[in-house]
Amino acid sequence: MCLGIPARVLSVGVDHPDLASVDMVGATRNINVGLLDEGESVRVGDWILVHMGFALQKMTEQEAIDAIDALSAERTALSDWEPT
């Protein structure tokens, strides 16, 4: 199982269009967007799903919000967990 994190595109490289700067839950990261489907470009404001520094797919804003909410709920549940 892999865990993808939603991120919002802040900028796309002019000389390197396969690279984008994104806001990933409050942290700015440089991401490779070259794995997206051929012809599918990203623009400032787009939402993408990121895993290990690579954009896996574009997302709608609602999909991103839902994923962020689910990750937050999971983090809360895990913080209350105690091993038996």
- The secondary structure of residue 15, as a DSSP letter, is S
pLDDT at 38: 79
From the options 3.40.640.10, 1.10.10.10, 2.30.30.140, 1.10.150.120, give the CATH code of 5-79: 2.30.30.140
Q: How far apart are CA 41 and CA 75, in angstroms?
A: 32
Q: For residue 61, give the H/E element and its range.
A: helix 61-79
Q: How far apart are CA 11 and CA 17, in angstroms?
A: 10
Q: Would you say 5 and 24 are in contact if contact means Cβ atoms under 8 Å apart?
A: yes
Q: How far apart are CA 21 and CA 33, in angstroms?
A: 10
Give how far the C-alpha of residue 60 lies from the chain's centroid of Cα atoms, to the nearest Å: 11
Average pLDDT over residues 21-30: 95
Per-residue pLDDT tens over the stretch 26-38: 999 999 999 998 7
